[in-house]
Amino acid sequence: MIIITGRVHIRENCLQDALALCLRHVEHSRAEDGCISHAVTQDVEQPKKLFFFEQWRDNDAVQAHFALPTSQQFVKNLSPLCESHPELTVYQAEKVN
């Protein structure tokens, strides 16, 4: 399984637009083959900070997700709403019982 975490800090007066954009992206991602889960949350202490948590079946599913025009457009549309470059970390994970 692949886990992806992401963090973005949204510019002043852009939060509602960013939230709407992120929610649409999450909904589209959840319908993709190989997506186990995909969520965006808002930091309760710093409301302009958003956190993404994604679980994907494998690297092929992640690469297919990143290659989609909708994913590329999401990044293009979100970037101007951010105060700094978004952080993205990808992990190879294995469930431990």
Q: At 32, is the secondary structure helix, strand, or coil?
A: coil
pLDDT at 57: 98
Q: Which CATH class is domain 2-92?
A: alpha beta
Contact 61, 69 (CB under 8 A): no
Whether the CB-CB separation of 10 and 77 falls below 8 Å is answered with no
CB atoms within 10 A of CB 90: 14
pLDDT tens series, the chain, 97 aa: 999 999 999 999 999 999 999 999 999 999 999 999 999 999 999 999 999 999 999 999 999 999 999 999 999 999 999 999 999 999 999 989 8
For residue 73, give the amino acid letter.
Answer: Q
